[in-house]
Amino acid sequence: MLVIFLLALSSLFAYEGFSEHHDAATYSPPGVLYQVEGRAMHLYCTGEGAPTVILDSGIGSAALGWGLVQPEVAKVTRVCSYDRAGYGWSDPGPLPRTSDRIVDELHTLLTTAGITGPLLLVGHSFGGYNMQVYAHRYPQEAAGMVLVDSAHEWQAELFGKADTLILWWVKMGQVSAQLGLARLLEVPSGSVNNLPDSVKAPAMAQGVRPQAYATLHDELESFQESGRQAGEVVSLGDMPLVVIMQGNRSNHPNVLDPMPARFMGEWRRLQGELAKKSSRGVLVEGDGVGHLIPQERPDMVIDAIVDVLEQYRRRLASAH
């Protein structure tokens, strides 16, 4: 029995290794790999115009998760998605995986790529922490912001911390990925629901790798510290800001990753607090949409980006 078990284990490891090699040969990065502190990072830019829109994904997800948003935004300005270190085509980065460190890497990536602003910063979920920290650190580059059901520094009071049990489950996910089980069961580190066929297969292939689960674990482990760093951003001045939040008041069926109804009132309050960080902040609540807004209701994200883009351009025109 032990011999059979070891053979089965070896076969699973071999299956995962072969699959990763096959994926690397099959799926080429749509963007450019730049060197950031000696490591490759993937940046994918499309469209033309200013300001440049920067898209930062939720935890566990990569650049391909913006597959329904980026093509439409590219029709009106330049837009760039990127893979945080450890996701997609980007090499893993040093610990801890806090927003401060992620922002350092993003700034270096954009500078290396010759993108110096103005920037319209868009962050979904955990990406909302990063975009707030970026705007605070580099205010001369930030032209506006869209926060998409963003994480909030006080949310641990509502949902609890990413405790040992959650981290243990993610570690088990990493082990299952090493054995190829995440791939066989099609359980990626981040959602690929509703993505267009052109990017769904590579997004799944990336999400079931052990490295994706390892990065998810590392970001969760530093989640509270990242929240503290975002919480230090108490004001964004009069920056154009749209905060989009999930909502399902009409009880639509088949909502992706909905929040339990008992939490919605408090979540609305927290998202409203984010909108108050700018004197021009606006809160937009969806209906029939859960947390995965970029995939479930990309039109809400696109409309918010266009709104902030037009605000910036009108302000620029009036200043001349």
End-to-end CA distance of the chain: 79
Spatial separation of the C-alpha atoms in residues 120 and 111, rounded to whole Å: 15
- Would you state the pLDDT for residue 7? 57
CA-based nearest residue to 66, from 81, 52, 76: 81
Dihedral sign, Cα of residue 46, residue 49, residue 52, residue 57: negative
Give the three-class secondary structure for 147. strand
Would you say how long the chain is, in residues?
Answer: 320
- Which two structure tokens, joined as six digits, stand for 186? 């099609």
- Would you state the pLDDT for residue 162? 62
- Would you state the pLDDT for residue 4? 64
Beta-sheet strands, E only, within 125-228: 142-148
**What is the residue whose two structure tokens read 């690929």?**
192
Dihedral sign, Cα of residue 133, residue 125, residue 180, residue 20: negative
Contact 148, 244 (CB under 8 A): yes
Please report, for the chain, the start and end positions of each structural domain, with discontinuous segments joined by +. Answer: 33-319
Provide CATH code, domain 33-319.
Answer: 3.40.50.1820
**Which ranges of the chain have pLDDT less than 70?**
1-13, 15, 160-164, 320
- Would you state the pLDDT for residue 8? 56
- Would you state the pLDDT for residue 163? 67
- Which two structure tokens, joined as six digits, stand for 283? 């809160």
- Would you state the pLDDT for residue 198? 87
